[in-house]
Amino acid sequence: MHLPWLDPHNDSQPFPDPGRALSEPDGLLAAGGNLSPNRLLRAYRMGIFPWYSAEQPILWWSPDPRLVLFPELVRVSRSLRKSLRKNHFAITADTDFAAVIDACAAPRDGASGTWITLEMNQAYCQLHQLGHAHSIEIWQQGELVGGLYGVAVGRVFYGESMFSRTSDASKVALVALATQLQRWNFALIDCQATTDHLLSMGALEIPRSTFLQLLKRYCPQPSQPGPWRLDSDLLDSLFASTRPHE
């Protein structure tokens, strides 16, 4: 199958229908284009996201099935609540987006590189400056020990990456995000690709067709204006989660 190529000088060039994405590799839809804010936001509204390495052109994906987390279904294990109390985490939003994306881009154990290229880093920092990309930061004794970032379009949050420098920090970030988004009436968090870690947190796979229908419903709705600030009682609410799981 010929992979459609996007013109890097034409932000208005439409994406192919996500239904045309390859089944192997799962979800590969197009190549080329650029990472301008206009191009990225149009991609997210269509259920498409960029993912590629430094040696590749920009690759655009829309996998089937799609992993999503409905905010009200996030799982808070008893051990995680114990970790929250023991580690004395502080949780913030949009206070240091650049540090979060830099940490997410850092090499992981057993990995030689990162998919968050300098081009990607700069593109998402620009989205943050425009009020579309947001971060959750986890602090311990004044040090950034975990977090995540993603893009909000309407009532949908598209998670991009997370990191953890101490036990449970990325889990705390995800639970905090889901709890706050539920209060703001967000419909879902896009987790993109399936992992055991996200499944254990309450994420589930849905058909791409169902995912796209949800986007058509919730992306046009008004989004939460930035910069984001978490509710002052959010941490207390995490202790009292009504969905404990081992």
Q: Is 221 found in the same domain as 109? A: yes
What's 59's domain CATH number? 3.30.70.3550
Residue 109: the pLDDT is 62
pLDDT above 90 as % of the chain? 83
pLDDT above 70 as % of the chain? 93
Q: Is 210 found in the same domain as 92? A: yes
Assessment of whether the complete model's pTM goes beyond 0.75: yes
Number of CB atoms found within 10 A of residue 233's CB: 9
Tell me how far apart the alpha carbons of residues 157 and 180 are, in angstroms, rounded to a whole number.
11
Q: Is the pLDDT of residue 59 over 70?
A: yes
Residue 246: the pLDDT is 43
Domain encompassing residue 45: 5-63
Q: Is the pLDDT of residue 110 over 60?
A: no
Number of domains in the chain: 2
**Higher-confidence position of 243 and 205:** 205
Residue 139: the pLDDT is 96
Confidence of residue 206 (pLDDT cuts 50, 70, 90): very high
Number of CB atoms found within 10 A of residue 221's CB: 13
Residue 107: the pLDDT is 81
Segment among 84-88, 122-126, 141-145, 233-237 with least mean pLDDT? 84-88
Mean of pLDDT values over 94-120: 85
Tell me how far apart the alpha carbons of residues 198 and 179 are, in angstroms, rounded to a whole number.
15
Q: Is the pLDDT of residue 108 over 80?
A: no
Report whether 167 contacts 137 (CB < 8 A): no
Q: Is 202 found in the same domain as 96? A: yes
Q: Is 193 exposed, middle or buried (0-12, 13-18, 19+ CB in 10 A)?
A: middle
What's 119's domain CATH number? 3.40.630.70
